[in-house]
Protein backbone atom coordinates (compact mmCIF):
# COMPACT_ATOMS: atom_id res chain seq x y z
CA UNK A 1 0.00 0.00 0.00
CA UNK A 2 2.89 2.37 0.83
CA UNK A 3 4.39 1.73 -2.64
CA UNK A 4 1.12 2.72 -4.32
CA UNK A 5 0.98 5.97 -2.31
CA UNK A 6 4.58 6.83 -3.17
CA UNK A 7 3.97 6.03 -6.84
CA UNK A 8 0.81 8.18 -6.85
CA UNK A 9 2.64 11.11 -5.25
CA UNK A 10 5.50 10.78 -7.74
CA UNK A 11 3.05 10.63 -10.65
CA UNK A 12 1.12 13.71 -9.44
CA UNK A 13 4.38 15.63 -8.96
CA UNK A 14 5.50 14.75 -12.48
CA UNK A 15 2.16 15.87 -13.93
CA UNK A 16 2.31 19.15 -11.98
CA UNK A 17 5.84 19.89 -13.23
CA UNK A 18 4.80 19.15 -16.83
CA UNK A 19 1.78 21.43 -16.41
CA UNK A 20 3.94 24.29 -15.18
CA UNK A 21 6.33 24.05 -18.12
CA UNK A 22 3.62 23.76 -20.77
CA UNK A 23 1.59 26.68 -19.40
CA UNK A 24 4.53 29.11 -19.64
CA UNK A 25 4.71 30.02 -23.31
CA UNK A 26 6.75 32.86 -24.67
CA UNK A 27 4.33 35.26 -26.29
CA UNK A 28 5.01 36.56 -29.76
CA UNK A 29 5.33 40.33 -29.78
CA UNK A 30 3.60 42.17 -32.57
CA UNK A 31 5.77 44.10 -35.02
CA UNK A 32 8.77 41.89 -34.05
CA UNK A 33 8.92 43.70 -30.71
CA UNK A 34 9.64 47.07 -32.32
CA UNK A 35 7.73 50.03 -30.85
CA UNK A 36 5.07 51.38 -33.20
CA UNK A 37 2.82 54.39 -32.71
CA UNK A 38 -0.59 54.07 -34.36
CA UNK A 39 -2.19 57.37 -33.32
CA UNK A 40 -2.55 59.99 -30.60
CA UNK A 41 -5.96 60.82 -29.12
CA UNK A 42 -7.53 62.70 -26.24
CA UNK A 43 -8.34 60.77 -23.08
CA UNK A 44 -12.07 61.55 -22.77
CA UNK A 45 -13.93 58.22 -23.18
CA UNK A 46 -16.77 59.79 -25.18
CA UNK A 47 -14.25 61.12 -27.72
CA UNK A 48 -11.92 58.11 -27.85
CA UNK A 49 -12.67 57.59 -31.55
CA UNK A 50 -11.37 61.09 -32.41
CA UNK A 51 -7.74 61.48 -33.40
CA UNK A 52 -5.71 64.38 -32.10
CA UNK A 53 -4.51 67.07 -34.50
CA UNK A 54 -3.26 69.46 -31.83
CA UNK A 55 -2.48 69.53 -28.13
CA UNK A 56 -2.09 72.48 -25.82
CA UNK A 57 0.27 72.76 -22.91
CA UNK A 58 -0.84 70.79 -19.87
CA UNK A 59 -3.20 68.59 -21.91
CA UNK A 60 -3.38 64.87 -21.09
CA UNK A 61 -3.09 62.79 -24.28
CA UNK A 62 -3.10 59.06 -25.03
CA UNK A 63 -0.44 57.63 -27.34
CA UNK A 64 -1.74 54.36 -28.80
CA UNK A 65 0.42 51.71 -30.47
CA UNK A 66 2.35 48.48 -30.00
CA UNK A 67 5.27 47.55 -27.73
CA UNK A 68 5.25 50.86 -25.85
CA UNK A 69 5.80 49.38 -22.39
CA UNK A 70 9.53 50.12 -22.29
CA UNK A 71 9.22 53.88 -22.85
CA UNK A 72 11.41 55.87 -20.45
CA UNK A 73 11.24 59.37 -21.99
CA UNK A 74 8.81 61.34 -24.13
CA UNK A 75 9.70 64.75 -25.55
CA UNK A 76 7.24 67.25 -27.00
CA UNK A 77 9.26 69.63 -29.18
CA UNK A 78 12.30 70.22 -26.93
CA UNK A 79 10.45 69.73 -23.61
CA UNK A 80 10.67 66.47 -21.66
CA UNK A 81 7.35 65.19 -20.34
CA UNK A 82 6.93 63.59 -16.93
CA UNK A 83 6.05 59.90 -17.26
CA UNK A 84 4.00 58.03 -14.67
CA UNK A 85 4.81 54.28 -14.74
CA UNK A 86 1.21 53.32 -13.96
CA UNK A 87 0.08 55.17 -17.11
CA UNK A 88 2.35 53.11 -19.37
CA UNK A 89 1.19 49.81 -20.89
CA UNK A 90 2.34 47.83 -23.88
CA UNK A 91 -0.41 49.36 -26.04
CA UNK A 92 -0.88 52.88 -24.65
CA UNK A 93 0.77 55.71 -22.75
CA UNK A 94 -1.06 58.54 -21.01
CA UNK A 95 1.13 61.61 -20.76
CA UNK A 96 0.66 65.32 -20.11
CA UNK A 97 2.08 67.79 -22.63
CA UNK A 98 4.69 69.88 -20.74
CA UNK A 99 3.56 73.34 -19.66
CA UNK A 100 6.89 75.07 -20.33
CA UNK A 101 7.13 76.99 -23.58
CA UNK A 102 9.59 75.27 -25.94
CA UNK A 103 12.57 77.11 -27.40
CA UNK A 104 12.70 74.91 -30.50
CA UNK A 105 9.24 74.23 -31.97
CA UNK A 106 9.47 71.33 -34.44
CA UNK A 107 5.96 69.88 -33.87
CA UNK A 108 7.34 66.40 -33.19
CA UNK A 109 7.12 63.91 -30.39
CA UNK A 110 10.22 61.86 -29.56
CA UNK A 111 10.02 58.67 -27.51
CA UNK A 112 13.07 56.96 -26.00
CA UNK A 113 12.88 53.34 -24.82
CA UNK A 114 14.87 51.45 -22.18
CA UNK A 115 16.81 49.56 -24.86
CA UNK A 116 18.01 52.85 -26.39
CA UNK A 117 15.66 52.80 -29.39
CA UNK A 118 13.89 56.00 -30.40
CA UNK A 119 10.70 56.86 -32.22
CA UNK A 120 10.67 60.29 -33.84
CA UNK A 121 8.09 60.04 -36.59
CA UNK A 122 4.73 58.56 -35.74
CA UNK A 123 2.53 59.27 -38.75
CA UNK A 124 2.76 60.80 -42.22
CA UNK A 125 1.78 64.29 -41.05
CA UNK A 126 2.83 66.34 -38.05
CA UNK A 127 0.97 66.82 -34.81
CA UNK A 128 0.56 70.54 -34.27
CA UNK A 129 1.52 71.27 -30.70
CA UNK A 130 -0.31 74.42 -29.75
CA UNK A 131 2.32 76.11 -27.63
Assigned domain for 50 exists: yes
Q: Which domain holds residue 60?
A: 30-130
Assigned domain for 13 exists: no
pLDDT of residue 81: 93
Assigned domain for 18 exists: no
Cβ-proximal residues to 65 (8 Å cutoff; 6+ apart), any chain: 35, 36, 37, 38, 39, 91, 92, 122
pLDDT of residue 9: 80
Give the CA dihedral 60, 63, 68, 70, nearest 10 degrees: -30
Q: Please tell me the total count of domains within the chain.
A: 1
Assigned domain for 94 exists: yes
CA distance 104 to 112: 19
pTM for the model: 0.69
| Nearest CA-CA partner of 64 in 88, 85, 86 | 88
Assigned domain for 66 exists: yes
Assigned domain for 12 exists: no
pLDDT of residue 35: 87
Assigned domain for 5 exists: no
pLDDT of residue 23: 58
**CATH no. for residue 117?**
2.60.40.10
Tens of pLDDT, residue by residue over 92-119, are 999 998 988 888 877 788 899 998 888 7
CA angle, residues 46, 49, 54, in degrees to nearest 5: 95
Assigned domain for 16 exists: no
Which segments in the chain show pLDDT lower than 50? 122-128, 130-131
Amino acid sequence: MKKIQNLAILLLTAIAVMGIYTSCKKTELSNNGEPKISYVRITAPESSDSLLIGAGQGRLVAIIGENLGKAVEIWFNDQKAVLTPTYITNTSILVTVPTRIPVNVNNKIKMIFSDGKQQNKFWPGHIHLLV
